[in-house]
Copies of this chain bind each other. A is one copy, B any other.
Amino acid sequence: MAERLGPPLDEPVFDELAIIGIGLIGSSLARAARKTNAARRIVVADISPETLARAEALKLGDAFTADLAEAARNADCVVLCAPIGAYGAIGRTIGPALKPGAIVSDVGSVKGAVIAELEPILPAHARLVPAHPVAGTEQSGPDAGFATLFVNRWCILTPPSGTDAEAVRRVRALWEAIGANVEIMDAAHHDLVLAITSHVPHLIAYNIVGTAADLEDVTRSEVMKFSAGGFRDFTRIAASDPTMWRDVFLHNKEAVLEMLGRFTEDLTALQRMIRRGDGDGLFALFTRTRAIRLGIVAQGQDTAAPDFGRRGRDGEATEA
């Protein structure tokens, strides 16, 4: 799977793109939009002076401000790249500054709650096109971003019914310019899909790392030493940004609890198989789960290299 950006656009999608929040996702968007000429001018805003200064040092935009309304004033498109819990405050701040026809989009991992919160706040002359690029790493902050983060990843748009088609087309064009595949989906369905493919996986990763950290009969040193048995994979996910993830769980409560309920039911059945020594039942499940992995690799959504290709990063190729 190629992880390269395509050639730059002849004509930018937006004259002015404002990015509110310049962490991992915001800074990756800024880098990618710059490289592909997806925006003529990029305005970077962040309420943290340290983060903003770092973004300026990294030359991630053409202008930098801590004043969110100022950032939004001339923007054709404002993309919220902040934790979902901050959307209300951001919306109220930028709303009065938005010019007629301005597009407001975001990158949040929950969509139903975002729409419910932003729609009543934004002025009628703005056009809301919520987006969610399904991409990331466990790292945070402007230094962690990179231009190819979205290449061959999916970006889901969840425009509320009645959204101006031209606005949707332009947001799609932005994401396609920086290498993403775009899918349009109902917000409620998005939240259900992501609950199982992202939110519950994060929750159980955080949970098992917490369980392991609290044991009395197994030391933390032992947990770390022998983590290569599988546990270390979970710690990567459980190192993700705490603010972002707190907000995800607070804003996608229903779908997460629904999927978590199914996970727990299945786990109870598996527990019973172990208790009863049902080897056939265990074997049947463990065989069935392989097919999903093969599909994911075949679709280019993960590397085929064993162990995620970890060894390849450490200076020595996997060898015979």
Using a CB–CB cutoff of 8 Å, the interface residues on chain A facing chain B are 1-4, 31, 58, 85, 109, 134-139, 144, 146-148, 153-154, 156, 183, 192-194, 196-215, 217-218, 220, 222-240, 242-243, 245-247, 249-250, 253, 256-257, 259-260, 262-264, 266-267, 270-271, 273-275, 277, 279, 282-283, 285-296, 299, 301-303, 305-316, 318-320
Contact = CB atoms under 8 A, between A and B. Distances in A.
Contacts of A138: 293, 306-307
Given A213-B291, A242-B286, 8 more contacts: A135-B228, A138-B307, A201-B230, A202-B230, A209-B292, A225-B299, A227-B302, A235-B292
Nearest to A60: B320
Contacts of A3: 311, 314-316
A153 B228 contact: yes
Given A206-B289, A230-B197, A267-B204, A302 B239 contact: no
Given A207-B270, A215-B196, A227-B301, A277 B253 contact: yes
Given A249-B282, A282-B246, A194 B226 contact: yes
Given A245-B282, A289-B235, A311 B196 contact: no
Nearest to A284: B242
Those 3 A-B pairs whose CB atoms lie nearest each other, nearest first = A198-B229, A309-B313, A242-B286
Nearest to A235: B293
Contacts of A313: 303, 305, 308-309, 312-313
B153 A238 contact: no
A318 B290 CA distance: 29
Given A3-B315, A134-B226, A196 B220 contact: no
21 contacts: A1-B314, A4-B315, A134-B228, A135-B228, A137-B307, A147-B320, A192-B218, A196-B208, A197-B218, A207-B270, A224-B296, A230-B237, A235-B296, A236-B308, A238-B290, A239-B290, A239-B293, A257-B271, A309-B313, A312-B312, A312-B313
A229 to B, nearest CB: 3
